[in-house]
C-alpha cells in the first residue's frame, strides 16, 4: 500500500539495522536518503528541512541517551519525528451521531460512506445512509447499491431530488438509529455553488462531525483544499483515501496534519474493507518495516481467526485442516502483501511483488487440494501415499505436483515454526527489545 514512501523508509531502516557500524558518516548518509524520500513523496520542503534539522540535532549534536547505542537512538528519533509529522492519534467517533461527508468530485466520498457504515456495524452499531447528491446523475443508484450490499437502510428521494428536504426528512426517519451518515455531492472545485449547498445542509443537519475526504494522490495540495473546506464547512476531521498506489501518500498525510485537521481514517483500496482507523504510531512503524502487530491482530479478529488454530500453527502442531482454515482467514484479511507488511521484521525483507502474487495463486490451489482430501488425511498428512496423491489430484482437478507441493509447504512451515519455538520464541527475540524501546507492546 505504501509505494515509494514505505519502500524507501523500509530500505533506509534496513540499512541502518544491518550496517556494520553506525557512526557520524552513516547518520549523515541516512539523513540524505531521508530527505530524498520525503521530497519524492511530496512532503513540503520547509517541513522536510525542519525534520532533517531536528534529527540531525538530536542524533549528532546531542548525547546519545545512556542504555542506547547510536543505531538504536537514530531509529528511535526517526520514528518519533515521522510520527510527529504524520499527526496525533485522533479521537474515536464514539457517540457521534450525525456525520456529514464532504469533498470534491471523485475523491471517494460515497465509497467512504459505505466503508464508515461497515466500520460502525463491526462495532455493533446501527447506521443509516442518506444520499444528498442530486448533482451527479447516477449518485442515488450508487449509494442504494452500497446499502444493499451492506444491508443498511438508505434514504434518497428520486422525485424531489432536493437535498434539503431529503436531509430534513432523514433526520426524523432515522432518529432511532445510532448513526446517520450523509453523503454530499462534489464539484471540480469548492466553488460558490458547493459552498452554499454545504452551508445550507450544515444548518439543517447540524452535523456532529464534518468529514472531509481527500485523495492521497493529491500530495501536498491537500493542504490548500483542507484549509478552504475548513473555512467554509467547519471540517472536524479528514479521511485520506486512495493511500494504495501513490507515492504521494506521505505528502498528503503530512499536509493534512499541518492544517491542524486530524486525519481520522485512511482508505487503502476500492473494497469496503480497505479502510482503517488512522493511528500515526502504528502507521510509521509499518512504514519503517517494523510491522504493525496491533492492526494485524485486529484484522485477524475481524476475519474471525480462531486463536487455538493460530497457536497450534505457531507451536508447529497443526493439521492440514488448520492450514486450510488459515488460508481462508488470510484471504479474508486482505492481500498478502498488506498482511506481510504488518508482521514485524517481514516488512523489512521486501518480498518481491510477483512472488507474493504467485503465493496467493498457490494458496488457492492448496485450498482446492485440501478440500479433496479425506478427513483422516487432513488430520494426519503422513498417511498420504503416492496412490492417495494420485487420487487427490484427480479429485481436485489439480496435478500430482500441486499435491506434493502442498505437502512439502506444509512440512516446511511446520519445521520453521518448531525451530522458532512457537509464539513465545517469536516474542523473545531481538525484535522485542527494539520494539519496547519504541514503546510498542508485544
Ligand atoms: N484505489 C482506491 N480507490 C478508491 C478508494 N476510495 C474510493 N476509490 C475509488 O474512487 C472512485 C470514486 O469514488 P466515489 O466514492 O464514487 O467518489 P465520490 O467522491 O463519491 O465521487 P462524486 O460523488 O462523483 O463526487 C471509485 O472508482 C472508487 O472505487 C481508495 O481508498 N482506494
Ligand atoms: Mg459520490
Residue 244 beta carbon below 6 angstroms from any ligand 1 atom: yes
Q: With 70 as the cut, is the pLDDT of residue 337 above it?
A: no
Where along the chain do the CATH 3.40.50.300 domains lie?
Answer: 98-287
The sign of the dihedral angle between the CA atoms of 310, 311, 312, 313 is: positive
Cα 99 to ligand 2 centroid, rounded to whole Å: 15
CB 73 within 8 A of CB 65: yes
**Low-confidence winner among 48-57, 351-360, 421-430 (lowest mean pLDDT):** 421-430
CATH 1.20.120.140 residue window(s) in the chain: 3-85
What is the average per-residue pLDDT within 274-281? 88
Domain 3-85 part of CATH 1.10.10.10: no
Q: Provide the β-strand partners of residue 277.
A: 265
pLDDT at 267: 94
Q: Whose CA is nearest to atom 29 of ligand 1?
A: 270
Cell of residue 409, nine digits: 509447504
**Closest ligand (CA of 106):** 1
Q: What is the mean pLDDT of residues 62-68?
A: 82
- The answer to whether the predicted template modeling score (pTM) of the entire model surpasses 0.75 is no
199-227 per-position pLDDT tens digit: 999 999 999 999 999 999 998 898 999 99
pLDDT tens digits for 339-353?
666 665 555 555 566
* Ligand 1 binding pocket includes 127 (Cβ within 6 Å): no
- Cβ neighbours for 151, distance < 8 A, ≥ 6 positions apart: none
Per-residue model confidence (pLDDT) at position 4: 55
Residue 252: is its pLDDT beyond 90? no
Q: How far is the CA of 185 from the centre of ligand 2 (A)?
A: 6
CA 295–ligand 2 middle distance (angstroms): 28
Could you tell me the pLDDT band of residue 253, with boundaries at 50, 70 and 90? confident
Span 98-287 CATH architecture: 3-Layer(aba) Sandwich (3.40)
Tell me where in the chain the CATH 1.10.260.30 domain(s) lie: 304-437
Domain 304-437 has CATH 3.10.20.30: no
415 vs 182, residue with greater confidence = 182
For residues 325-347, give the mean pLDDT. Answer: 66
Query: Residues 6 or more apart from 51 whose CB is under 8 A from it?
Result: 34, 38, 81, 82, 85
Could you tell me the strand order of the sheet in which 237-241 lies?
Answer: 154-155, 127-131, 179-183, 98-102, 209-215, 237-241, 263-267, 275-277
- d(C-alpha 238, C-alpha 47), whole Å: 20
Q: Are 139 and 110 in contact (CB under 8 A)?
A: yes
Residues 346 and 340: their CA atoms lie apart, in Å, by 6
Amino acid at each position: 500500500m505504501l509505494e515509494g514512501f514505505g519502500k524507501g523508509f523500509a530500505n533506509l531502516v534496513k540499512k541502518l539495522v544491518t550496517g556494520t557500524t553506525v557512526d557520524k558518516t552513516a547518520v549523515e548518509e541516512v539523513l540524505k536518503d531521508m530527505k530524498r524520500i520525503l521530497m519524492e513523496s511530496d512532503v513540503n520542503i520547509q517541513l522536510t528541512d525542519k525534520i532533517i534539522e531536528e534529527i540531525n540535532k538530536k542524533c549528532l549534536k546531542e548525547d546519545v541517551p545512556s542504555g542506547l547505542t547510536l543505531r538504536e537512538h537514530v531509529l528511535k528519533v526517526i520514528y518519533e519525528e515521522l510520527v510527529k509529522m504524520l499527526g496525533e492519534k485522533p479521537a474515536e467517533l464514539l457517540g457521534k451521531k450525525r456525520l456529514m461527508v464532504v469533498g470534491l468530485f471523485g475523491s471517494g466520498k460515497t465509497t467512504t460512506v459505505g466503508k464508515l457504515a461497515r466500520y460502525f456495524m463491526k462495532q455493533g452499531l446501527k447506521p443509516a445512509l442518506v444520499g444528498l447528491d442530486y448533482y451527479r446523475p447516477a449518485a442515488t443508484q450508487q449509494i442504494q447499491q452500497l446499502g444493499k450490499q451492506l444491508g443498511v437502510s438508505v434514504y434518497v428521494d428520486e422525485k424531489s431530488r432536493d437535498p434539503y428536504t431529503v436531509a430534513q426528512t432523514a433526520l426524523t426517519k432515522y432518529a432511532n438509529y445510532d448513526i446517520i451518515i450523509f453523503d454530499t455531492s462534489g464539484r471540480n472545485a469548492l466553488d460558490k455553488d458547493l459552498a452554499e449547498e454545504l452551508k445550507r445542509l450544515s444548518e439543517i443537519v447540524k452535523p456532529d462531525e464534518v468529514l472531509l475526504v481527500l485523495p492521497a494522490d493529491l500530495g501536498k495540495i491537500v493542504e490548500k483544499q483542507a484549509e478552504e473546506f475548513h473555512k467554509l464547512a467547519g471540517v472536524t476531521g479528514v479521511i485520506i483515501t486512495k493511500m494504495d498506489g501513490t507515492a504521494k501518500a506521505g505528502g498528503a498525510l503530512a499536509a493534512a496534519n499541518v492544517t491542524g485537521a486530524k486525519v481520522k481514517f485512511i482508505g487503502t483500496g476500492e473494497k469496503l474493507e480497505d479502510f482503517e482507523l488512522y493511528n500515526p504510531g502504528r502507521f510509521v512503524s509499518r512504514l519503517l518495516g517494523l510491522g504493525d502487530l496491533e492492526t494485524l491482530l485486529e484484522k485477524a479478529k475481524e476475519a474471525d481467526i480462531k486463536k487455538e488454530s493460530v497457536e497450534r500453527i505457531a507451536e508447529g502442531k497443526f493439521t492440514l485442516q488448520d492450514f486450510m482454515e488459515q488460508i481462508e482467514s488470510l484471504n479474508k484479511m486482505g492481500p498478502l502483501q498488506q498482511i506481510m507488511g504488518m508482521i514485524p521484521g517481514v516488512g523489512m525483507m521486501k518480498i518481491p511483488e510477483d512472488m507474493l502474487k504467485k503465493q496467493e495463486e498457490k494458496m488457492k490451489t492448496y485450498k482446492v487440494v485440501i478440500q479433496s482430501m479425506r478427513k483422516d488425511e487432513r488430520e494426519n498428512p503422513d498417511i498420504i501415499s503416492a496412490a492417495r496423491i494420485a487420487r487427490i489430484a484427480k479429485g481436485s482437478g489439480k496435478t500430482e505436483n500441486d499435491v506434493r507441493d502442498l505437502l512439502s509447504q506444509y512440512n516446511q512451515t511446520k519445521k520453521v515454526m518448531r525451530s522458532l519455538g512457537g509464539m513465545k520464541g517469536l516474542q523473545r527475540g531481538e525484535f522485542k527489545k527494539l520494539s519496547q524501546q519504541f514503546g510498542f507492546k508485544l
